[in-house]
Amino acid sequence: MRLFQKHFCAIAISLWAASPGNAQLLVEPTLHIKAEAGSGRVALTLDACGGRTDTRILSALVENKIPATIFVTGIWLKHNAAAVEIMRAHPELFELENHGGRHVPAVDTPQRIYGIRSAGSPEAVLAEVESGAAALAVTGEPAPKWFRGATAEYSPSAIAMIRKLGFKIAGFSINGDGGSLLGAKETARRIAAAKDGDVIIAHINQPTHAAGEGVVQGLLALKAKGLTFVRLDDADGIGDEGTTD
């Protein structure tokens, strides 16, 4: 009977922690790079969550010599070897960083974020971060220094764990493509509005979405204005919520 009571209490506590009213409040960190005198610098970050590669974006980056930080998951790496080879052939342009092993939100309590089930426990958060780094290591890339979780939302306790692993956490200041769901015109408008110090987030894994066309248009508009593109490793990133300090 006592064993049953202990088991019942454990279940009750788990259900209480997982209930919507007791879910941790999540944060969506921002990130800027230090401004410099001149025409201005922006950092382009592109998430490769799963699926395939938007060659419209990849080709435009290579042809126009636009540097970018690419956050890749283990899932995406398995199915996009050709794109990875192109990126590795241009180390002056591309920096590959950690987007997790399975594209699981870095939230250590059970809940859903934009319909995606969170990691749900501290152990699962650590597994997501470490498996993403391991997947990058297999490609021969340098060890990643930055991490961005799926959905870019985190529990504060997960942020602390990830920082203890030695990773900076990549927020952003401009959501360029609304998770790749925006149209080309709105995506181009958002990206073209970037100013000195901004960090742009968009996606490079949705080749059938109209947003990809807008990403290219917005980037070319920024280049025409004379802004300089930098990778995160080439600039001092300043994030809130304890993500970089």
Question: What tens digit of pLDDT does each residue of 65-104 get?
Answer: 999 999 999 999 999 999 999 999 999 999 999 999 999 9
Sign of the dihedral defined by the CA atoms of residues 55, 131, 231, 187, in that order: positive
Q: Given the structure tokens 């934009």, which residue do they identify? A: 114
Please write the tens of the pLDDT for every residue from 134-167: 999 999 989 999 999 999 999 999 999 999 999 9
Whose tokens are 């590795």? That residue is: 88
Distance of CA 173 to the CA centre of its chain: 12
Whole-Å CA distances, 220 to 101, 224, 243? 32, 6, 30
Instruction: For 110-154, give the secondary structure using H, E and C.
Output: CCEECCEECCCCHHHHHHHHHHHHHHHHHCCCCCCCEECCHHHCE
pLDDT at 35: 83
Q: In angstroms, rounded to a whole number, what is the distance separating the alpha carbons of residues 194 and 192? A: 6
Q: Decide: residue 23, CB within 10 A, 0-12 exposed, 13-18 middle, 19+ buried.
A: middle
What's the pTM?
Answer: 0.90
> pLDDT confidence of 23, banded at 50, 70, 90?
low
> Average pLDDT in the 229-235 region?
96
Question: Distance (Å, rounded) from C-alpha 143 to C-alpha 195?
Answer: 30
Longest dimension (CA), the chain: 74
